[in-house]
Structure 1
């Protein structure tokens, strides 16, 4: 069931933009009015209407700033950032559309202008990584300088490091956790400006981020949490298989095995021919995938996926998919792990199987009708998700506002 728009994907992305009302990234009326102007499933119309809303919010922010009303300026800049990101969403893919570059740059610019007006502005990070840097932010829950537990936020396919603040960062800060958010390979400006695609071995991405975190005197190095969101629900536990300085890990709605997730969407008669079966059947599959990619809504995810993985066609994407699996590596995760899934979300359909395969202490939560939560990544119930997550996390790490908290029942690095 859709809320405003008749196309499932368009409506889901509208709900995603709207979901950030509580964390300061959206206003109810602005989002609904924008969605109502999108009268057909047309990426061009989507872009124009969300861009207009973003520009209007940015103009309001500038006017408030000139008038000396800095709280209003801050709020409007943050909303503009979310709306610019939303505007460019359906332009993702190769070759890169200049309009997507524009909205990506504007969402970063307005976010930084808005967060500079926080009582405690975030630090803009350049995280050393294999001869280049990854963009990030460090948000402090307190300026008292005492070591605090810190959540490290990692993203999925089409989010940005700025969006991570709205999705999880604000909730963590409210509860007393410092926040380190970053974009890795295949994400945000790393794929857009540096052309670095995704990689399966996310432990080699998170390792340099943890290095930056533990070097800070205001970070409690014994209480680091990695929260993975959407495809980050795969990359976070994958990182935990090799990065053992983590005290806890969160897999929010990611695939257990990317190959399985993809093949489950292919008709059985063709799926049975993968990876190297009947040539005629595989040619039919390739044509079908190419046809799907040309569809404005149904083909968007596949167009996006090819770009962020750095592959040229759909069959190439299927070729690399088996690399992205946790199967056979679950026993390497040593820290307590939180795994969740929303009923009906096919992207994380095997989340229960992932949780059942873990040998570390873990919690599995399935959201659904009883919680009034639906959609990928609990987008219409982020507050409910945060209630369950941070209640569990307090049991693992203790009170984040108390220096040292208590020792976790299962310290990082300890198998049970």
Structure 2
């Protein structure tokens, strides 16, 4: 993996993730580097304070620019504030939920909506009907026009991502190429999790199907040209959904894991993993003690604490139990639409992406590899999204032809 500025591997990866948004005006390198100076890498409070202070300062600057009538400057600053405020809160996963994390989600949403109101193309705040409630999202149109149906990208993020962050990863590059875009928070993500209490689930066809229904109800969406794109955990959820939702015209899985449960077991000592799989009580007790101890560590335990919140469980062992259904075996083989799998060389989280590709039986499939030598070897090509955009959207353009209007 790329090492940029910080000694802590996780914090440095999150820093690269934030800086990666510069490709679509979601960060400024100088602001970010300065904010990280003097950071106490052993304190997640220090991380939150640094990013939150930066985010609120840039938010205030955006408001000043807006009041002065400087629309473009205000828009860019609100977009940067969105990234900074999200990044600060993203490390505060805990049970019960840290109120600062919920507030950071509210503030990053406010920043994005202020920016969205200043974009050159229309943005609608939408509520998508879902199981007696709604899922929050945004429908972004490529142009201010009526009576025209366009190819549309339906995009989702990962474990700790938000619909607003998806703007930088998928929406901005798609809009510039002539696609409409729908970005949203599903169960376990962003506002759906932190504001509504909807937790993660593996059966994402039950999530994507009503979202596709929502798109098909619109007069500006070409029903024959809807693509589903998923990032990080979304790179698993999107194929899982596409296995059963066959109204999709194309699928992009960015670093899509094939077997998240199996991947977790592979990181354990083999005797302990074997005993756990067999349901051995002693193995479960031993594993629970190890996981509980790890979860207390500031950064080493972050993913476990995140899992508790996202899945709505009360212990790290219960989180591992919940992962048993997060597999693509038997699902990847059911995907019928053209599919692109991406795989970054140094991405341990998405290491099984080639396995996902191999399991596909659809004739039109492609695996694109990104290398460290290109600066694109990190998880979801975080530091080289411009390169990702060129390759992934080049593939999609050849299939959905966004310049063609229906």
TM range (shorter): over 0.9
Q: Secondary structure at the match of 1:186?
A: coil
Please give the TM-score of this superposition, normalised by the length of structure 1. 0.94
Residue 137 in 1 paired to residue 138 in 2?
A: yes
Q: Deviations over 1:330-354 (max 9, x none)?
A: 2211001101111121211111111
- 2:188 aligns with 186
- 1:414 aligns with none
Tell whether the 8 Å contact from 1:345 to 1:375 is kept in structure 2 after alignment.
yes
Q: Deviations over 1:234-272 (max 9, x none)?
A: 100011011111000111112211111111111222112
- 2:266 aligns with 264
2: CA distance, partners of 1:82 / 1:394: 28
Tell whether the 8 Å contact from 2:40 to 2:47 is kept in structure 1 after alignment.
no
Residue 238 in 1 paired to residue 243 in 2?
A: no
Tell whether the 8 Å contact from 2:175 to 2:181 is kept in structure 1 after alignment.
yes
- 2:323 aligns with 321
Structure 2: stretches of 5+ with no match in the other structure: none
Residue 383 in 1 paired to residue 386 in 2?
A: yes
How many equivalent residue pairs?
A: 403
- 1:76 aligns with 77
Residue 335 in 1 paired to residue 337 in 2?
A: yes
2: CA distance, partners of 1:70 / 1:147: 29
Mean Cα deviation higher: 35-44 or 215-224? 35-44
Q: Secondary structure at the match of 2:75?
A: helix
2: CA distance, partners of 1:309 / 1:106: 23
Q: Deviations over 1:109-143 (max 9, x none)?
A: 11101110112231000000010000010111112
Alignment of 1:19-98 (within 5 A): 19-98=20-99
2: CA distance, partners of 1:363 / 1:314: 36
Q: 1:294 aligns with which of 293, 296, 303?
A: 296
2: CA distance, partners of 1:199 / 1:359: 25
Tell whether the 8 Å contact from 2:189 to 2:200 is kept in structure 1 after alignment.
yes
Please give the TM-score of this superposition, normalised by the length of structure 2. 0.97
- 1:216 aligns with 218
- 1:349 aligns with 351
- 2:377 aligns with 374
Off by >6 Å, runs of 4+ in structure 1: none
Cα root mean square deviation, aligned: 1.2
Tell whether the 8 Å contact from 2:23 to 2:385 is kept in structure 1 after alignment.
no
Give the CA deviation at 1:316.
1.0
Structure 1: stretches of 5+ with no match in the other structure: 405-416
- 1:114 aligns with 115
